[in-house]
Structures are given as structure tokens and as C-alpha cells.
Amino acid sequence: MGLSLRRLLHVVRKEFLELRQDPRLFGLVIIAPIAQLIMLGYAASTDVRTVPMVVVDQDRSSESRDLVAQFSGSPSFQVLGTLDTVEDVDDWLNGGRAWIALVIPDDYGEDVRRGRATAVQVLADGTDANSTNVALGYAGTLVSSYARELADAVAGGSGEPLIGAEVRVWFNPQLESRFFMIPGILALVLLVVTTNLSSMAIVRERELGTLEQLNVTPIARWELIAGKLLPYALLGMIDVALVLAVAIGWFEVPLRGSLALLILMCLVYLLTTLGLGLFVSTISATQQQAMMTASFFFMIPMVFLSGFVFPIENMPEVIQPVTYLIPLRYFLVILRGIFLKGVGLEVLWPDALALFAWGAAVLTLATMRSSKRLA
Amino acid sequence: MTAAGKVRAVAVKEMRQILRDRRSLLILLFVPAFFLLVYGYALSFDLRNIRLGVQDNDRSAASRELISAFLNSGYFELAADVTSTGEIDGLLDGSDVRAVLVIPARFGADVRAGRRTTVQMIVNGDNANSATTVVGYTFGLVSTVSARFELESRAGSSAGPPIAVEPRVWYNPELRSTLFLVPGLIAYIAMLTAVVSTSLSIVRETEAGTMEQVRMAPIGPLPYVLGKTLPFFAISLASALGIVAVAMLLFDLPMRGSWLALLGAVSLFLVGAVGFGLLISTVAETQQVAFQVALLTSFLPTLMLSGFIFPISSMPVVLQVVTYAVPARYFLTALRAIVLKGVGPAVFWQELAALALFAAVILTLASLRLRRQWA
Amino acid sequence: MTANGAAPAIDVRHLTRRFGAFVAVDEVSFEVRSGEVFGFLGSNGAGKSTTIRMLCGLLRPTSGTAIVGGIDVGRDPEGVKRRIGYMSQRFSLYEQLTVDQNITFFGGAYGLSHERLAARRAFVLDMAGLRGRERSLAGTLSAGWRQRLALGCAILHEPTIVFLDEPTGGVDPLSRRRFWRLIDDMAQAGVAVLVTTHYLDEAEHCHRIAIIQAGRLAALGTVSELKGIFESRRIVEVRAPRPVELMRALDAMPEVEKTSIFGTAVHAVLRSSRTDVAVVTDRLAASGITPTACVVVEPSLEDVFLDVALSAGREAGGAVAAPGGGLA
């Protein structure tokens, strides 16, 4: 046993020495994740803060001006200008400078004065459905509360609706979408680094010829695999520490759960991604193939089907079972649970178990596929 | 040999090499289209079947009417009938429901008497995007129901009826997020395919030592780079057209603009993307580094900084500047303009120019880099 | 069994390896004794590397047995690894590691203790002439140095059986000579050495040679035994200003079995050793060719090789296509 461990340690030492000889790779593996997380953490926001808009006021009455004032006075909107005709809207919307255009018909003022039902048009560029939805929602809310005020002012009421809605948002009261995104980016950044290292690891030696030399020595299969993965796991953990520091220290994502559990889960996740990369390494004949297989068949699906940006509940019934095959899915639930909800294993145990099982399975598969002797 | 002849020689050799790696070639040609199929189908921002828990402390006709309004809207589905407040914690922690509607005990009585009352909506905020949507739906639905009750109780009064908002959504009237996402998917998958296929190509020759042979031949760096670009461009183009075909046939992606403009935009984009991969290949010293750099600069950045998912205008200014360096950004704008808006190049000529500039700069840089290496 | 009754170090019986329909190694049988330098001669693609790989436990035999160091490699590939050393064609060293680090790693891989590794390290550095260059990156060494370092790393654990696969490819003649002296030293110390090579002059160094052609053992024996195939025949070396014309003329003669180009001369194999050189020159004169030289020569290994290769008959196959994947 002692001999086995010594051989293992020699493999570990060799990997580290090789890594050290390639300072660029080293830098990429340590520095790049932080840089990525910071940059993308800022990018990842679906929050719509201010809606740029234009107005076409065909009425030009004091009532219409009053309505426009509601918009310009609201922090949710930014009125960029008032246009003369509806045709002018084309330029603004097509060019993307304005998201919506408020069109007030010429009989608006009169209708309001007479208490008749009236309507205003909101033109929106639907290509960005998400933002449009939000913008329309804001506009609708603004107009209907303004309308109510008017109505009650006439009727002598309090200006308040009959039924109010009090909304309380748990876990993320400011609706800061970053808190949702950053754990996901963290996981993806780790994925990118570790998959690269491990998927190229064995293929590279095969391409260079040193793998054959290794196979002739008494180094056992598992010793080789463990020896290769340990340095990468260590690098991965350093990355974990760094990105966690950025997420918590820089972006101030709240950490309501246990840090120890978080780190433990990160370790399990690392084993999964490393195992995945290793598996790719065993089914690829060249580094080119390894890269393509890893990128196409593992990383891209992880981005889209893990619940990173697109909620899994939104996905069609047929696709949902497929998402169970994606380890990132479980890790995201765990991450978000620990960060935002502050829950622990009592709630997260199914996902933790699934993640662990995934990692164990893929590592086993990779090991089985690695034979020191060609059949 | 003329310059064109040299380019051809390199291109032919490269094509032969590519054709020999069957697995990679098949992946490059067919997997992207397949991905579009899967992800285009799977991904959407439209939130439906939101799992709702209801704690109805009143159980009157009025409360039932409110609940039906929610359930009949098509957005919500009843997931849990909450009997005690203590259950809510567990439901939200475990993500069994996305929101809980709490109706107070005297709801019906208050509404009939015209007294102001409030219902509570507790929303799971870990996914801020979904939460915002849920909040929006809530306000809208409550306000509608409220207005209905108000009208009933004030029937016959002279209060002015509310002002309606008529939304007119251009290009995407049903606000299907698919139409927004699919072009982004096309851009993303095309970019990754191009970069992944080329980023190892030159560095592989350097590592294998065959680069020396190339330097012996009277081929300059620029013809060499161009010669390598052509076959990869051809493959990426075939792949990209496959993606677009899937999008149009299976996702009803409209084609409101000119095919020529589409082809032009795609080609410019792909030349730049392929060139970018080649540039990486000339900068990296080992295949492993090339892989890592390729991932770092395209995998996550293209996803998040191209306007695919997150609107660029919502990002901090610093990042918006960074997005100018992401070619997918320009392509996406042009693509959406051609496909969804049906406008001509006059509107997006700047994007086309940017793509052309990007391609030219990148290919020049790659040649310069090679010249330095070969000197 | 060998002359003195000791078991052979390497005992191969009907070893066969198929890749799909292609037979790379076809029922090869031979023995190698301790202290013997055994040469495996053959053109590229003949099956030399495939055979070695099977003997090292890197490739599973399709059929047949190979007993290496008393262990059945087919059944227990891992068991032999402690006892054998292997050096591949590519001098597989870790180019990014220094000489010292390579030695340390391979020493560790073979489980050498601290003290033993120190002693062996000194030995290898001296043998390879790398004293003072311990901290050079292996990738920066020229071919001769790398070759000796690779050999050193392969024998750190003092194996009794060593496999060398084309160990002198791309190395200058001086370094090659030095390398072969090392091999001789090892053999003298009792190590069984199996070397594959396609350099015929090096094969003369070996105690015994096996010629492999298209996966089959075409000839086996000592150098002189092999040369003995020409016993009943005679080889004549002829020189003339126009070698191609000369060859054609010689081929036309009934006394000549075959011809081949040797450097700037032509070797003609006469069917009978009783044919006189004068007959050849007379016939050439009749065709209008005056050779500048025409003498009987002793058969060289090259003559033997060509003779064996031609009579083996089968076309040498293309490169062996091994499926990719796994650790191997």
C-alpha cells in the first residue's frame, strides 16, 4: 500500500511540475476565472431599470401633457423625445434607441374631460420579448393607477383601489437578478477550467507518446488517474476559494447558509467535472477531438439545460427528464439554496446525493474505460 | 506560384486533413443544427404553469373569484392548498411552489361592503427574473379583479371608467420569447462551432513539428492564414445554414428580409469567427492553452455579452464598451433586423461594417503573429 | 530450454495479433536467453513494434503465449512490468521536466527507495554523460542525449529483460556506437536485450537475429547462420557507369537469380556457387558493357534481408491501425 501511495505521489508531483513549466496555463487557470466572474457578474442582469421611450402626442391637450408627465416623472421611464407623427417612431424603435412609443390619440383630452372610455397605444419592439414584457408591464401599471386617481378624483374617492396587493419577495427582496445569476456563473467558470484540464490530460500524453511509457511501468490504472486528478482538484479548489471570495466579497451575494457545506459541495462538483473531462479524455484519440467532444456534448448542454438562465419548469415536458442527466442542474439548486435560501442538507440532500452519484458514476466509467493494455 | 495559388494549396491540404477526421467533421456539420432543435424547443422565458400555493382564510364567493382569476389566466396552476401559515416556509424552501397567495379571513365581507382590503402574495425571489414576472402578473390580476368589484359596487355612479392601455407589439405580437432567443442561439452556436474547430489547428502543427515543413515552402504567413480560413469557413457556413434551416422550418422563424443580406451577414460573421480561432491558435503554445483561451474568450462571453439573453443596454457602461469587441453582438443585431424586422442593410450597415472590420483586423493579427514566429 | 538448461528469459510461442481482418503478427515463435542481444529485423510495418508491445503487456495477443521473465504476459500483463524495461521509438520523456525530474519520476514509478534511486541516478547520469546537465529540460537535449536518458530511465530499476524499439532512430553515428556499447555492457551483465531495428549494420551487433516480414518470422539464427542461406549460391558485386543498364543485362542472364542495387554497385546473386565470375564478365561484354569491377563478395546482412524478404512473398501491409481510446 505504501508503495502504491508513493507511486501516486510521484504522478502528482510530475503533473505539478509540468503545470509549473507552462506559466500561461497556470495564469489562465487561476486568474481567468476571477476575471470572468467579475466581468460576467456585471453583465448578467435581466433587470430592466429604465425604459427608454418616445411619445407621439396627437392631442396636445393639458390632459395629454399630464399623462406624459406621469411617464417623465417616473424613475422607470426615460422620455427621450416627443415626435410629431407615428411614422417617426420607426427610426427610434428599429434602431433600438427607444423600447416603446406612447401614442396618445387626438381625442384623448376630450374623452377624459367627458368621462368617456379612452385608450392610448403603446408601440413596442417585440424582438426582445423579455424587456418588452417588463416595459409593457410598467406602462400598464403606471397608466392604470393614473386612471384610478383621475376616476376617484372625480368621484371623490380616496384614489386607492378596492383590493390592494401586498407583495413580499422572499430570499431576494430587491429582486436583484445578479444573486440568481452569479452562483450560476461561478459554477460555469469552474466547469470551463476543470473540464479543460482533465479532458486534455490523458489525450495529451497519448499524443506525445509518454502514456505508453507510463503503461509499461508498474503504475496502476487508478494511481495514474488519481495522480492526474488530484493536482487539478487542488487547482480547482483554489479557484473555488477565489471565486467564492469574489462572489461574496465583491458582488455581495448573501451567504445565508453554511460555508462549510458550500465548500464541500463545490468539492463534489469538482469531482464531477473532472471525472467528466477524464471520461472525454478516454474516448478521444486526439486533443482536437477531446476539445470538440467536451465543448459540444458537455459544456453547451450544461449552459442551456441546467437551469442556469432558463428555468427548467419552463421547458417542455419532453425535455425535462433530460435535465436530470446534467450535474450542473443539481449543483445550481444546491448553490442557490445555500446562498439565497440559507437551507442545508435537510432540504438539499436529494440534489447532493444526485451530484455525488453522478461524479462517482462518471469517474468509475472513465476508470473502466482506461486500460493499460489495448484489448 | 501566385498568391492565390498558394492559398489554394494550403486550403486543399487543410480540407483533406479535415475530411480525414470523420468524427470531428460530423460533429461540426450536424450537431449545431441538432442543438438548435433541442434548445430552441427547450428554452423560453415565457413563464407558464407557475406553481401557486393558496391560503384561503376566507373561503367566500369573493375569494374564490379571486383565485379563479389567477388560475384561469393561464399563468398559474394550483399546486398546494395551504391550511396553516407554518406550511409556507417548507413549500418555498423546497421550491414546491413559486408563490403563495394569502387571502385574509374577512376578504369577502370587506369587498361586499366596499371596504379596502389587502391580499398577500409571497414570491420565491431566488430567480429574480421569474419573480419579477410573477409580481407583474399579480398586480395585473389583482387590479383587474379589483376593478370588476369596484364597477359592481359603484354601478350607476358617474365615476370615469379607467383608461385602457392597448399594447401594439411589433414583429412579435404574441411576445414569444422564442423569436428573441432563436436568433441568439444561432449566433451563439455558430460562433462556438467556428472557434472550436479552428483554435487548435495551427498550434497542433506547431506541437507536432510539421510547421517547420510549412515554413520551408515558399508560402507567406498571410496566404497560409487565408488558406486555413477557407475550408473552416466553408464548413462553418454549411453548419450555420443548417442551423438557420432548422430554425425556420421547425420554429417558424420568419424571414422578412433579404436572403442575400442574411448570407452576407452570416459570411462576414463566420470569417471573423474562424479567424478568431486561428488567431488563438497562433498565440497559444500548446493545444491545452489554446483550448482554454478559446473557451475563456468565447464560451461565456459570447453567451452573456452578445445581447443573446441579457440586454446590453442594461449593463454597466464599462461592460457595454467591452461588448463592442464581441462580434456576435453585431451579428445578432443584424440577424434580428433581417429576420424579424425585415429591414434592409441601410439600417444595420454599421453592424456589417463592424463585422468586416473585425474579420480584417483578426486575420491581419494572425498573419503578423505567424510572421513573427517564422522569422 | 537452452543449452545449459536454464529457462529462457523470453519464450514466445505462436504469438499472433489480428486487427480486424489484418494479421499484424502471425504465429511468431522464438526464445531469448539471459545475456543475449536479440535483434528483430524488418521493414516498417512488418510487425516488430506490435510484437514488442505484446511482450510488454501493452497489447493483448489474439492467440499464442509469451512468457517473459517467467510470467505469462497474456494472462498477467501487470506482473511483468517490474522486471522489464522498455524504450519506445519516440524516446518518451517528459520534455517539460528536467533530466533530474525525469529520473526521479521514473524511479518513483518503479518504486525505488531513496538510497537505491540515488545510486541509480548517479549511474544513469554517468552512463548518459549528463553530469552537470541535470537541470536541463529534457526537451532541449539533442537526440543522442535524449536517447541515452531514455534508456537510463528505462533501466533505473535494473530489469533483467529490456525491450528497445528502434532506439537509434534519428541519432548520429557516434552516438549510435556509444549506445550499442551500452547495450553490450548490459548483455554482459546478464540482461536479455530484445532490440528492433531496421538498420542492418547494427543488426550485426546482435548475437542472434530474427527477420520479420509481413508479420511472419522469415528467418532466425546467428548472423553467420543467416548468411549461410547463400552457401550454395554466390554473390557478385559489379560496378559500371550505367547501373540500370547493367542490372537489366544481369537479370537477363540465366545464371543470375536476382539483382539489387548496393550503393553505387549492383549485387547479383548467382544460382550456383560453382559459376565463375568470368562467365558474368563474358556475358556482359557480349551485351556491350564493360564493368569497372566484378568480384565475388561475402554475403552481407542486407543481402540476407533482401533474399528473405523477397521469398517471403506476401506484400508488407500498411501501417498498423490501432483503435484509439483508453489509457493505452
Q: Do C93 and A210 touch (CB under 8 A)?
A: yes
Confidence of residue B307 (pLDDT cuts 50, 70, 90): confident
Chain B partners (3+ C-beta pairs within 8 A): A
CA distance C283 to A270: 82
Q: In the predicted model, is pLDDT for residue B159 greater than 60? A: no
CA distance C245 to B137: 98
Nearest partner of B93 among A342, A345, A167, A309, judged by Cα: A342
Q: What is the largest CA-CA distance in chain C?
A: 76
Q: Is C111 on the interface with A (CB under 8 A)?
A: yes
8 A C-beta contact, residue C264 and residue C243: yes
Torsion of CA C53, C59, C61, C65, to 10 degrees: 50
Task: Give residues 22 to 41 of A whose Cβ lies within 8 Å of C.
Answer: 22
What is the pLDDT averaged over residues C283-312?
85
Per-residue pLDDT reduced to its tens digit, C63-88: 999 999 999 999 999 999 999 999 99
8 A C-beta contact, residue A262 and residue A338: yes
Per-residue pLDDT reduced to its tens digit, B178-230: 777 888 889 999 999 999 889 998 888 888 778 877 777 778 888 889 988 99
What is the pLDDT averaged over residues A158-162?
60
Best of C19, C136, C327 to disrupt the A interface by mutation (most A CBs within 10 Å)? C327
**Which chain A positions have a beta carbon within 8 Å of B120's beta carbon?**
165-168
8 A C-beta contact, residue A227 and residue A205: no
C72 three-class SS:
strand
Q: Do A151 and B322 touch (CB under 8 A)?
A: no
pLDDT given at position C71: 94
Give the minimum alpha-carbon distance from B179 to chain A in angstroms, rounded to a whole number. Answer: 7
Lowest mean per-residue pLDDT among A108-117, A129-138, A277-286, B313-322: A129-138
Query: Minimal Cα distance from A375: which residue of C?
Result: C60
Q: Do A170 and B299 touch (CB under 8 A)?
A: no
Q: Do B42 and A168 touch (CB under 8 A)?
A: no
Q: Do C88 and A209 touch (CB under 8 A)?
A: yes
**Which chain C positions have a beta carbon within 8 Å of A372's beta carbon?**
57-58, 77-78, 327-328
Q: Which three cell numbers stand for residue A3?
A: 508503495
Q: Do B41 and A316 touch (CB under 8 A)?
A: yes
Q: Which three cell numbers stand for residue B219?
A: 508560402
Q: Is C97 on the interface with A (CB under 8 A)?
A: yes
What is the pLDDT averaged over residues C200-220?
89
Strands B117-124 and A163-170: parallel
The 3-state secondary structure of B292-358, one letter per residue: HHHHHHHHHHHHHHCCCCCCHHHCCHHHHHHHCCCHHHHHHHHHHHHHHHCCCHHHHHHHHHHHHHH
Q: In the predicted model, is pLDDT for residue B95 greater than 80? A: no
Question: What is the average pLDDT score of chain C?
Answer: 87
Contacts of C300 (CB under 8 A, 6+ apart): C200, C227
Nearest partner of A267 among A358, A367, A356, A365, judged by Cα: A356
Q: Do B180 and A128 touch (CB under 8 A)?
A: yes
CA distance B43 to C98: 51
Nearest partner of C259 among C288, C217, C228, C291, judged by Cα: C291
Alpha helical stretches, state H, chain B: 3-20, 22-42, 61-72, 85-93, 107-113, 128-153, 177-198, 201-208, 210-216, 221-251, 259-283, 287-294, 300-305, 317-323, 327-336, 345-374
Q: What is the full DSSP assignment across A56-100?
A: EESS-SHHHHHHHHHHHTSTTEEEEEEESSGGGHHHHHHHTS-SE
Give the minimum alpha-carbon distance from A15 to chain C in angstroms, rounded to a whole number. Answer: 10
Query: Minimal Cα distance from B339: which residue of A?
Result: A127
A139 three-class SS:
helix
Strands C22-32 and C161-165: unpaired
Alpha helical stretches, state H, chain C: 48-55, 77-80, 99-109, 114-128, 143-154, 173-188, 200-203, 223-227, 243-252, 277-286, 301-312
Q: String of b and e for B105-127 (b: at least 16 CB within 10 Å)?
A: eebbebbeeeeebebebbbbbbb
A82 alpha-carbon distance from chain centroid = 38
Q: In the predicted model, is pLDDT for residue A257 greater than 80? A: yes
What is the pLDDT averaged over residues B25-30?
86
Q: Which residue has the cell 531495428?
A: C197
The 3-state secondary structure of A12-60, one letter per residue: HHHHHHHHHHCHHHHHHHHHHHHHHHHHHHHHCCCCCCCEEEEEEECCC
How far is the CA of C268 from the CAs of C251, C262, C272, C285, in angstroms? 8, 10, 12, 16
**Which chain B positions have a beta carbon within 8 Å of A175's beta carbon?**
125, 128, 131-132, 135
Q: Which three cell numbers stand for residue A128?
A: 426582445
Q: In the predicted model, is pLDDT for residue A166 greater than 50? A: yes
Confidence of residue B168 (pLDDT cuts 50, 70, 90): low
A370 three-class SS:
coil
Give the gyration radius of chain B's Cα atoms. Answer: 28
Q: Do C77 and A283 touch (CB under 8 A)?
A: no
Lowest mean per-residue pLDDT among B36-45, B257-266, C53-62: B36-45
Q: In the predicted model, is pLDDT for residue C313 greater than 70? A: no
CA distance C26 to C17: 7
Q: Do A373 and C323 touch (CB under 8 A)?
A: no
B164 three-class SS:
strand
Chain A partners (3+ C-beta pairs within 8 A): B, C
CA distance A214 to A224: 9
The 3-state secondary structure of C226-294, one letter per residue: HHHHHCCCEEEEEECCCHHHHHHHHHHCCCEEEEEEECCEEEEEECCCCCCHHHHHHHHHHCCCCCCEE
Nearest partner of C164 among C188, C187, C137, judged by Cα: C187
Per-residue pLDDT reduced to its tens digit, C195-207: 998 788 888 889 9
Lowest mean per-residue pLDDT among A227-231, C100-104, C123-127: A227-231
CA distance A140 to A156: 23
CA distance B168 to A101: 10
Q: In the predicted model, is pLDDT for residue C255 greater than 90? A: no
CA distance A84 to A72: 18
Helix (H) or strand (E) holding C86: strand C84-87
Query: Minimal Cα distance from A98: which residue of B?
Result: B313
Length of chain C, please? 328
pLDDT given at position C137: 92
Question: What is the average pLDDT score of chain A?
Answer: 85
Q: In the predicted model, is pLDDT for residue C319 greater than 50? A: no
Q: Do A129 and B35 touch (CB under 8 A)?
A: no
pLDDT given at position B139: 80
Q: What share of chain C is helix, strand, coil (3-state, %, to 5)?
A: 35, 25, 40
Long-range contacts of B82-89 (CB under 8 A, 24+ apart): B82/B53, B82/B54, B82/B55, B83/B55, B85/B55, B87/B53, B88/B53, B88/B55, B88/B122
CA distance C214 to C216: 6
CB atoms < 10 A from the CB of A179, how many? 23
pLDDT given at position A158: 56
Residue C188 class from Cβ within 10 Å (0-12 exposed, 13-18 middle, 19+ buried)? exposed
Best of B117, B163, B297 to disrupt the A interface by mutation (most A CBs within 10 Å)? B163
Give the minimum alpha-carbon distance from A14 to chain C in angstroms, rounded to a whole number. Answer: 7
Helix (H) or strand (E) holding A163: strand A163-170
Nearest partner of C183 among C209, C211, C202, judged by Cα: C202
8 A C-beta contact, residue A170 and residue B125: yes
Question: What is the average pLDDT score of chain B?
Answer: 84
C36 three-class SS:
coil
How far is the CA of C160 from the CAs of A222, C184, C188, C235, in angstroms? 27, 14, 12, 40
Sign of CA dihedral B94, B97, B98, B104: negative
Interaxial angle between packed helices B259-283 and B345-374, expressed in degrees from 0 to 180 and rounded to the nearest 10: 20
Q: Which three cell numbers stand for residue C180?
A: 550499442
Length of chain A, please? 375
Per-residue pLDDT reduced to its tens digit, A332-375: 999 988 988 888 888 889 999 999 999 999 999 988 888 888 87
A375 three-class SS:
coil
Q: Is A156 on the interface with C (CB under 8 A)?
A: no
Paired strand residues for A52? A78
Q: Do C81 and A216 touch (CB under 8 A)?
A: yes
Q: In the predicted model, is pLDDT for residue B156 greater than 50? A: no
Q: Is C314 on the interface with A (CB under 8 A)?
A: no
